């Protein structure tokens, strides 16, 4: 399935292909404050439809994950990262996807604070 998503103001638009089997609720210092529910997909399954110039990356701690923010509204639709095997992945904030019933998505807790 192809999902369409965006930030709040619509400056960042993207599409992501796959089946949402579960989402991650991470308790690290940034995810807990953002309230994201993250769906991990191979990076090539996420297609940015809008201009990349509207994105602003933020990194902290080990600087391995690029938390992408909209330069206008500040929303955080996805993160870019590399998995332990060296593959490019995207952590998509499913709260930014259209037509997703969050009540139907299994949420798994992840202890990012321990990393």
- Using alpha carbons, list the distances in angstroms from residue 33 to 25, 36, 52, 61: 11, 8, 25, 16
CATH topology of domain 2-114: 2.170.150
pLDDT of residue 64: 84
Check whether 115 has a pLDDT greater than 80. no
pLDDT of residue 8: 96
What is the DSSP secondary-structure string of 20-82?
---EEEE-SHHHHHHT--EEEEEGGGEEE-S-GGGEEEE--TT---EEEEETTT----EEEEE
Check whether 87 has a pLDDT greater than 90. yes
pLDDT digits (tens, 9 = 90+) for 47-78: 999 988 889 988 887 788 899 999 999 999 99
pLDDT digits (tens, 9 = 90+) for 13-58: 999 999 999 999 999 888 889 899 999 999 999 999 998 888 998 8
Scan for tokens 């904030």, then name that residue.
93
pTM of the prediction? 0.92
pLDDT digits (tens, 9 = 90+) for 100-114: 999 999 999 998 888
Domain boundaries, the chain: 2-114
């Amino acid at each position: 399935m192809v999902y369409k998503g965006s930030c709040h103001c619509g400056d960042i638009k993207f599409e992501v292909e796959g089946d949402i089997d579960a989402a991650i609720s991470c308790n690290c210092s940034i995810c807990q404050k953002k309230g994201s529910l993250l769906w991990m997909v191979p990076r090539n399954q996420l297609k940015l439809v809008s201009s990349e110039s509207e994105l602003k990356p933020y990194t902290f701690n080990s600087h391995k994950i690029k938390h992408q923010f909209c330069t206008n509204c500040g929303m955080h639709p996805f993160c870019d990262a590399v998995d332990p095997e060296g593959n490019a992945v995207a952590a998509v904030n499913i709260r930014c996807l259209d037509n997703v019933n969050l009540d139907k998505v299994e949420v798994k807790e992840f202890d990012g604070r321990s990393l």
